[in-house]
Amino acid sequence: MAAQPAPVQAAPEPKRSKERPEVSLNVPDEWPDFEDIETLPENATREWLVQLLLKCQSIGASDLHLCADSRPFIRHNRTVTYVGDHILTEEESENFNTSLLSEFQAHEFDTNQDLDYALSLDLHRRFRVNMMLHKDGMAATYRIVPDEVNTLEQLGFSDPDTIRKLLTYHNGLIMLTGPLGSGKTATLTSLVAELNRTRQDHLITVESPIEIVQHSDECQITQREVGSHTKTFHSALKGALRQDPDIIVIGEMRDLETVEMAISAYETGHLVIGTMHTSDAANTLNRLLDVFPAAQQTQIRSMVAESLRGIVCQRLLPSTDGGVELAYKLLLNNAAVGNLIRMDKADGLNNIIETGRGEGMVLMDKSIFALWQANRISDEAALANLISRPMKEQIRQHTQAPATAE
């Protein structure tokens, strides 16, 4: 019998550099001239983009959007503002948005046609970037990461000591929730900084991507980025349980495997802090529990009822001075909350929060109404975000009062 030829082995994939081109970091006095875009040489696009990012950061914008077949725009104090009249062509959008990618990142985008990564120009100039393809070409959103960590007071929490008390637990689950752009990352960073200042523990974070770098102080902090340091949240959490942690911070709990690992972590004696893109405590619990098959629901509800420490739901509202104000709901676990979770009656949580004000619980409507009473948000902002009809009616009567007096 004739010998079979040896199989041809594929050539190993070339190792791609993760180094990014160097750029100058001088903040411009004015916006880069969009009329220059069409005449920029190819090697000048990254310098132009960096200047644009630095200008956005200097004025306090939260996001920059560069999208094919669209004018460049920013989000500043939650308002969309165009920063030029030039409409980016498909080629221009691709040139700009790929100009700061490393060879490795460019390959990842070519392979997946989506890319999330952290862009670090230096320790104080960091950006979270999402790139994608759409019908008109390439688009990218650059989230400007704050260059300092604010305290809970600076963020706008009216009773920060109640939230700090949650951080004294040595096991259990703390949930931080809110829609996109609600300031969850800033709050999560503040909580980590608080733990780093007040406890002597090993703290592991799993983020996608790392936004704010935190250096070890009293705590030993280990930060891991999904994509760069680990493949998935699930694999990172599985590994974290073998790395002798005391506290585990999860950047986003969005699938069954991640939630299962989080529950395993706090059931085995760790303090777990996780985030979700939900806007209410009841929605958070339903999202957390509904990822499990029906056969596991009773057991998981019992575990969460015992281990939950608290849920912070937050949102940012436009303020009267042109900035933003934090409104939030705070649920603290007690016997009544635990019973509602076990009985699958999360819709009754608002009543318990109302009666638990003495313990430090806060209703979202009460937080919004307090901001309105302090003249920190407008009548329109309050009415658009309140649910309570009596509160809305009180605002309407106040708005109409001057006209009636005349």
pLDDT band at residue 177 under the 50/70/90 scheme: very high
Q: Among residues of the chain, what percentage have pLDDT more than 70?
A: 92
Pairing of strands 324-332, 308-318: antiparallel
pLDDT (mean) for 378-403: 89
Which residues lie below 8 Å from residue 347, measured CB to CB, with a gap of 6+?
A: 282
SS3 of residue 184 by DSSP: helix
| Crossing angle (nearest 10°) for helices 297-307 and 281-290 | 130
Q: Let me know: does 131 contact 114? Beta carbons within 8 Å.
A: yes
Q: Let me know: does 190 contact 151? Beta carbons within 8 Å.
A: yes
pLDDT value for 233: 85
SS3 of residue 363 by DSSP: coil
Nearest partner of 127 among 20, 235, 278, judged by Cα: 20
Backbone angles phi, psi at 24, to 5 degrees: -80, 150
Rounded Cα distance, 152 and 330, in Å: 14
Whole-number Cα distances in Å, 127 to 27, 110, 132, 190: 15, 21, 16, 18
pLDDT value for 401: 65
pLDDT value for 361: 97
Q: Let me know: does 147 contact 126? Beta carbons within 8 Å.
A: yes
Q: Let me know: does 150 contact 186? Beta carbons within 8 Å.
A: yes
Pairing of strands 202-207, 220-225: parallel
pLDDT value for 404: 45
Rounded Cα distance, 321 and 302, in Å: 46
Rounded Cα distance, 173 and 273, in Å: 6
Length of the chain: 406
Backbone angles phi, psi at 360, to 5 degrees: 110, 5
pLDDT value for 405: 43
**How many CA within 13 A on the CB side of residue 320?**
11
Q: Let me know: does 75 contact 96? Beta carbons within 8 Å.
A: no
Identity at 272, one-letter amino acid code: V
Rounded Cα distance, 208 and 394, in Å: 43
Asked whether the predicted pLDDT for residue 34 surpasses 80, the reply is no
Rounded Cα distance, 54 and 32, in Å: 10
> How high is the mean pLDDT of the chain?
88
pLDDT value for 79: 85
What six digits make up the tokens of 133? Answer: 């393809």
Whole-number Cα distances in Å, 320 to 367, 372, 377: 16, 10, 5
Q: Which domains does the chain have, with CATH numbers?
A: 34-145 (3.30.450.90), 152-362 (3.40.50.300)
Q: Among residues of the chain, what percentage have pLDDT more than 90?
A: 54
pLDDT (mean) for 303-316: 95
pLDDT value for 146: 79
Q: Let me know: does 188 contact 288? Beta carbons within 8 Å.
A: no
H helix intervals, 28-89: 45-59
Asked whether the predicted pLDDT for residue 383 surpasses 70, the reply is yes
| Crossing angle (nearest 10°) for helices 233-240 and 256-267 | 20
Sheet holding 73-76, edge to edge: 79-82, 73-76, 63-67, 137-145, 125-134, 114-122
Q: Let me know: does 16 contact 103? Beta carbons within 8 Å.
A: yes
Asked whether the predicted pLDDT for residue 406 surpasses 70, the reply is no
What six digits make up the tokens of 87? Answer: 């409409």
pLDDT in tens, 144-172: 887 788 999 999 999 999 999 999 999 99
Which residues lie below 8 Å from residue 252, measured CB to CB, with a gap of 6+?
A: 208, 233, 258, 274, 275, 276, 277
Higher pLDDT, 56 or 32: 56
Rounded Cα distance, 159 and 94, in Å: 46
pLDDT in tens, 266-301: 888 999 999 999 988 999 999 888 888 889 989 999
Q: Let me know: does 90 contact 38? Beta carbons within 8 Å.
A: no
| 3-7, 300-304, 369-373: the lowest-pLDDT one | 3-7
pLDDT in tens, 202-235: 999 998 878 788 889 999 999 998 877 888 888 8
